[in-house]
Amino acid sequence: MLEVYSLDISQYLEKAIIERLMSFVHPEKQERIRRFYRWEDSLRSLFADLLSRRLIIDKLGIKNRDISFSTNEFGKPFLKDFPGFHFNLSHSGRWVVCSVDKQPVGIDVEEIQTIDLDISKNYFSPDEHMDLMKMDDKMSYFFTLWTLKESYIKIVGKGLSLPLNSFSIRFLGDSIRIKAENEFIDNIFFTEYSIHSDYKMSACAFHNDFPDKVISITPSALAHSFLETL
């Protein structure tokens, strides 16, 4: 059942349509969206919520008004009353992505930007930092590692209570493995997706049955699917 979706928010939609779409998210979420200083941050937050709602509606056949979200003790969101449905969201730059499955999932997308690579000493394990320093394109590899590590953090649902440098991402042949406390974890699997040359995107699951392709949804199509119900 694992599926991965992407949405490019750079497609223009009139502000009047955006305002109408706000009515489909919870009032508290509306307030948080409106508090963002940057318009792009508001769009990412709105469309992430709408994308997850659309998938829940389509997969489970429930009404938007009946969708109820909660969070675990570490702040990871989940759908109340449906323990067999799991989703995870991420957004960066122009992209919003979501993965859904019958088991917990993790996903992360990051825009490749110029950063001070010294921060890898604090956030990566010694092995990961050593690998990074050997790479020709260090910036690209940094965000490869970052998205893989974030996807793992998100699947276990412990947030910042699990330090990024407490485990290592290891590339062994064609497989991506995770190592913690000097042992490989056998029931965690990873994959990477390419949605744009300026972005890195990784997904994590408790099985290796990843889809080959990411399903693309446009903002206009997502908007129409909600507005046609009015």
Task: Kindly state the tokens that stand for 4.
Answer: 């991965």
pLDDT value of position 230: 60
| 49: region left, alpha or beta (phi > 0 left; psi from -120 to 50 alpha) | alpha
Say which residues have a Cβ less than 8 Å from residue 188's Cβ, sequence separation at least 6.
152, 155, 178, 204, 205, 206
pLDDT value of position 66: 96
Which percentage of the chain shows pLDDT scores above 70?
100
Q: Smallest Cα–Cα separation from 92: which of 109, 68, 115, 67? A: 109
Reported residue count of the chain is: 230
Q: Any idea which of 106-110, 163-167, 204-208, 222-226 has the lowest mean pLDDT?
A: 163-167
Task: Kindly state the tokens that stand for 163.
Answer: 């330090």
Say which residues have a Cβ less than 8 Å from residue 116's Cβ, sequence separation at least 6.
none
The CA-to-CA distance between both ends of the chain, in Å, stands at: 30
Q: Give tens-digit pLDDT for 121-164.
A: 999 999 999 999 999 999 999 999 999 999 999 999 887 778 89
Is the CB of residue 103 less than 8 Å from the CB of residue 58? Answer: no
Average confidence (pLDDT) over 99-114: 97
Q: Smallest Cα–Cα separation from 87: which of 130, 120, 55? A: 55
Which percentage of the chain shows pLDDT scores above 90?
89
Dist CA 140 CA 150 (whole Å): 15
Confidence of residue 49 (pLDDT cuts 50, 70, 90): very high
Confidence of residue 10 (pLDDT cuts 50, 70, 90): very high
Q: Give tens-digit pLDDT for 72-104.
A: 888 889 999 999 999 999 999 999 999 999 999
pLDDT value of position 228: 87
∠ CA(77), CA(106), CA(45), 5° rounding? 50
Q: Model's pTM, two decimal places?
A: 0.95
For residue 19, pLDDT beyond 80: yes
Domains and CATH numbers, the chain: 3-227 (3.90.470.20)
